[in-house]
Amino acid sequence: MHPAYSVIFFTTASGAGLGLLVWLGLANAFSYLPADASFVLISVALALALLSVGLLSSTFHLGRPDRAWRAFSQWRSSWLSREGVAAAATYLPAIIFAFGWYKTGEGAGIVAIPGLVMAVLALVTLFTTGMIYGSLPTIRQWKQALTAPNYIVMGLASGAVLLTFLLALFATVPVWAIWLAIVSLTLAWAMKTLYWMAIHNEEPRYTIGEATGLGRFGEVRQLDPPHTAANFVMREMGYSVARKHANKIRRLSVLTAFVAPAVFTVIMLVAGPVLNLFLAALAVLLAGIGLVMERWLFFAEAEHVSMLYYGRERA
C-alpha cells in the first residue's frame, strides 16, 4: 500500500495524545499526579491538541474532506465511524476532568470519575483505530490478531514517554512514571516484534485462482496485463518496499522508537532534574520519529489482494 502521510501523522499524533489521557486518568485515580492544577490543564490540553491535529490531518486523506462529518453516521457497521464517535466522546470527560481539577484544586473525589471515563474512552478509541485496519480481509498483513493490540500498546508507550516529559517540566520525575515508560516501551517493542514475525512467517492466503473463482478448474495464469500503463489502483495498492530497505527501516524504527527512549528513561533513575528534562525531551523526539517510521512501514509492507489482477501470484 502507498503510505498516506496524513494517516501516518494522524495515527502517531492521536495515539500519543490518547495514551497520555489514559495514563493521566489512571494516575490521578491513584493520587500519583502532582498537586498542581496547571500541570493537569497543560497535560490535558496537549493530549487533546494531539488528538485534534491528528483527526484534522486524517481528513486530508479523504476525497471530499468537507463530508468527513458523515462518517459519524455509520457507527453500526464501520470501525472508522466508531473511531470518530469514540474520539469525539473522549473530549467531554477530558474537559470536565481538567476543569474540575482547576476549580476544586485537587483530582480526588468526584473529579476522579470523569478522569477514569476519559481513560476508558481513550482506550476504546485506540482499539477502534487499530480495528479499522485489523478488520480488512483484503490485506493479509493487517488482518492479524495483533494489529489492534499493537495500536493500543504503541499509544500507551508514546503517552507514557510524554507523561515523563510533562512531569519533568513541573517537578522531579517520580520513579513510578519512569518505570511506567520503561515497561510500556518494552511491551510495545515485544508486541511489534511478534507482529513482524507473524506477517513474515505466515503463508500468503490468496491466489489468482481464488480471486477469479476459476481455481477449481485448475491452475490460473494471466495471459495479458489488464492495463498498458500504471493506474490509480497500481499506484496506491501496488506500492511495495524492497525487503532489504524494509529491514533497514525496521531496525531504525526499533532503535529510535523503543531502545533509545528506554535507555534515556533508565538514566533518569539516577540523573538530576535538569538532565532529566533534557533526557525526557530527547526521548519524546526520538520516539516520535521512530513511530512515524514504524507506521510508514506498516502501510508500505501491506499487500492488497487487488494486485492479483495485475500479475502478482499470491497475496
For residues 4 and 242, give the distance between their C-alpha atoms in angstroms, rounded to a whole number.
18
Looking up cell 486524517 gives 58
- Angle of helix 5-29 relative to helix 273-300, nearest 10 degrees, comes to 140
pLDDT confidence of residue 65: 62
In a domain, 303, yes or no: yes
Residue 225 above 80 pLDDT?
Answer: no
Alpha helix ranges (H) inside 171-272: 175-201, 208-212, 232-237, 243-254, 260-267
The confidence band for 153, taking pLDDT boundaries of 50, 70 and 90, is very high
In a domain, 243, yes or no: yes
Q: What is the mean pLDDT of residues 30-41?
A: 88
For the chain, the average pLDDT equals 87
What separation in angstroms does the CA of 21 have from each of 48, 55, 279? 8, 16, 22
pLDDT confidence of residue 61: 62
For residues 210 and 295, give the distance between their C-alpha atoms in angstroms, rounded to a whole number.
30
In a domain, 315, yes or no: no
For residues 89 and 75, give the distance between their C-alpha atoms in angstroms, rounded to a whole number.
13
Would you give the distance in Å from CA 139 to the centre of its chain?
18
Chain segment 267-313, per-residue pLDDT in tens: 999 988 899 999 999 999 999 999 999 999 998 888 888 777 776 77
pLDDT confidence of residue 266: 95
224 burial class (0-12, 13-18, 19+ CB within 10 angstroms)?
Answer: exposed
Q: Choose among 72, 74, 55, 59: nearest CA to 15.
A: 55
pLDDT confidence of residue 68: 63
Chain segment 39-62, per-residue pLDDT in tens: 999 999 999 999 998 877 766 666
Contacts of 117 (CB under 8 A, 6+ apart): 25, 93
245 or 197, greater pLDDT: 197
**Kind and range of the H or E element at 152?**
helix 147-170
pLDDT confidence of residue 307: 78
Q: What pTM was estimated for this model as a whole? A: 0.91
Range of the domain at 73: 5-310
pLDDT confidence of residue 258: 96
Q: How many domains does the chain have?
A: 1
pLDDT confidence of residue 67: 62
Chain segment 251-267, per-residue pLDDT in tens: 999 999 999 999 999 99
What proportion of the chain, given as a percentage, has pLDDT over 70?
92
CATH number for the domain that contains residue 125: 1.20.1630.10
- Angle of helix 79-104 relative to helix 5-29, nearest 10 degrees, comes to 40
Chain segment 158-191, per-residue pLDDT in tens: 999 999 999 999 878 899 999 999 999 999 999 9
For residues 18 and 158, give the distance between their C-alpha atoms in angstroms, rounded to a whole number.
9
Chain segment 14-27, per-residue pLDDT in tens: 999 999 999 999 99
Sign of the Cα torsion 153, 154, 155, 156 reads positive
Residue 64 above 70 pLDDT?
Answer: no
